[in-house]
Every structure is written in structure tokens, then in C-alpha cells.
Amino acid sequence: MSKVYLIGAGPGDLGLFTLKGKQIMETADVVIYDYLAHPDLLGFCREDAEILYVGKKGGDHTLPQDKINELIIAKAKEGKVVARLKGGDPYVFGRGGEEAEELVAAGLTFEVVPGVTAGVAAAAYAGIPVTHRAFTPSVCFITGHEDPTKEQSTHHWEAYAKSASTLVFYMGVKNLPDICAKLISAGRPADEPVALVYRGTSCRQRSFVSTLQDAPAEAKRLKFAAPSIIVVGGVCSLRDKLGWFEKRPLLGQGVVVTRAREQASDFATVLEDLGACVLEFPTIAVKPLPEYAEVRTAVENLGDYGWVIFTSTNGVDHFWRILKDMGRDARVFGGCSVAAIGPATADSLRERGIEPDFVPPKYVAESVVEGLLARGVQGKKVLIPRAKVAREVLP
């Protein structure tokens, strides 16, 4: 049965995407996504899913909102499950309410999956709690870009100015001079702290703290642009004290990971935790050989070997696939010693019931040779199940 899910993609950090959103992405027939949705979220899609980009970048919409509505409805009426992926939260300045109304009018079933909104998350990643008992008991989310078709503004600047709330403006960088001027004119102190956070929670995040009076000039000097949030209030003064995300040593640095796709993720995660912007660009692919007669013969005669040396997790995976095809298991190693180059390869062996007899202190062939010589490898037969294309040092 067709159904539309309006899913909040969160503010930028892939880890802030919800489990429910992931579950829906994994089963949806069609995924319609915005500019602000993290591109890696598409990795959750089914291989045969139809994936459609509809833009929604400030001033550059691939499809206008009415056409997006029509697209969602058309796909749902084809009997498909549609995941509508929207940056942040669908109902917080995401026009999700408008899309929901169109779905109701078309007689379609839908659900909303909330997402983490940038007004809270980007501020937190910049070291700014939007509420704090020492500063404010409330927070107010405000659009910095009103519907241009409205006859008059619905902003109540006097109310904003008199309020003790933290003010969080979305989509307001272009209008920052006007926002600051109107708040000051309405009575908000000119020296009140103001923070801007660019691409909050992402590896490109930048932020600064200024005052209502000076923030427009500072934003221009630092070349801040959309997407950025604007935070107004005393809590902004905590940024230097509580800031944590922008202290990461690799923040903003681009790192290309060229490992095989199957092995890249763990390394990419380590780099991302250090703040790097990681691009997985595999320059190698690990594939089975056309036939494995030599390996099968080695398995049949494994008792003749003194040592078996595994040089990678790929070697372990493929060797065990052949063992399984031959109806064998870890018991074939009963008469020989096993070495593993590196902790990942050792863990891969442990998962299959083999505790390595030797893991070198340095994860290179030279260290293996040195260690095996010290363990009396001379005169013994050695099996090295490894990639066909590899270094020749160990052999």
C-alpha cells in the first residue's frame, strides 16, 4: 500500500539521523530529498529505490514547492512507499505542514518522522545551550525569511525585544543587518551577544560571537553565508567556554579514503570523529578469483604447514568462504600456527574461533618476518592466503 513519510534528515551530522528514519529509508520505493539532507543518508536506500533530488537551496530551487508537492503525490498514487527526506525537522521551517496538507487533500496516507532541528543542534555544537537557568527560561524559533507573497510581516519585533527568550533565526543571514537593526530599534540592547553558526554539526561548521550592533559587519568580514543560524541572547557568551566541536583537530580538512569500500567505513569513522570531511573514493576492488584449485589443494594438505599467515581481513573472508564450500571449519588449523598482520585481521580470525599465535608489533610484512624468524620458522612450510596482487616482501 502506498504511503508517504515526511522524514526529518537532521541538521548535518549523519549520526543525528533517527533510527525510525533509517528504517523507512531502507524499505522505501522512492526517496525524494533536499539539498540540506546529508548525501550519505542515501546509502540507506534499497539498491532498486528511485532517488530524486529536488534542491531547495536558498535562491536555487531545482523544483518549486508546488511541483515538489505534485511529484510526491504522483509517486504515492503509483502505489509506492515514498520517503520525503527534508533537512532538519519537517515541521520546523521545513514546509512539511504544507506538504502534509496537500497529501490530505489528495486522500493519501502519510506519517511524520521528526528530525533534530538546527536551531538546537547547531547551537549546541557551537557550545551554546539555547536555554540556561542563569540566562533565559525560554527559546523562540523565528524565520529570518518570511513568505514573500505575504502582504505584511507577521513579526512582532517589540515582543522579541521585550522577551527574555533566546532568539534563534533560521534562513536569516541575508537579512542579518535588518534583523539586528529592528531588534535594537525595538529595545533589545545593542551590546547583546549574537552568534552565527554556519553549517552547524557538519565538518564545515564555523561560528563566531559578536553583538547585535557589530554582527552584520563581522558576518560580512568572515564571509558567512547560508545555511547559517543566528542566535541572539546571553547564552551566546558561553560559546568560548562550552565550545567542543570546533576544537576537533581535523575540522574542515578534506580527506580522501582510497581503501576498498568494504574496509573504508571504520577508517572514515575515525577521521570523521576528528572533524575531517571524508570522501570515500575506492581505488581498489576486492573480487573472487575465477577458480581456487590451488587454495583447495592447500586446505586438503593444511597439516603439512607449520604456519599460516593472513595478511588482511579480505584474505580471511575469502579463505573461510572456500572452507565452507569444502565443508570444513576452523578445525583444519589444529596442527599449525596462525599469524595475523594487524589487529583487524586478528579480530576477523577470532570471530571464526581462531586465536592468532602471533600478531606483529608493526603491521607490515617486515615485522612479520622478523617475528617468525624469532619463533623458529626456519625449515617449516608456510602458507600465505593473500590477494593475487600484493607486496612480495613476505613471500
The residue from 3, 13, 29, 34 that is catalytic is 34
Catalytic residue among 3, 13, 29, 56: 56
Instruction: Answer yes or no: 324 catalytic.
Output: no
Sheet of 337-340, strand order: 337-340, 307-310, 382-383
Contact between 69 and 102 under an 8 Å Cβ cutoff? The reply is yes
Q: CA-CA distance, 246 to 300, in Å (whole number)?
A: 56
The DSSP bridge partners found for residue 309 are: 339
Residue 183 near residue 204 (C-beta atoms within 8 A)? no
Catalytic residue flag (residue 56): yes
| Four-point Cα dihedral 361, 363, 364, 366, nearest 10 | 10
SS3 370: helix
3-state DSSP call for residue 169? Answer: strand
C-alpha cell of 58? 536558498
End-to-end CA distance of the chain: 59
Active site residues: 34, 56
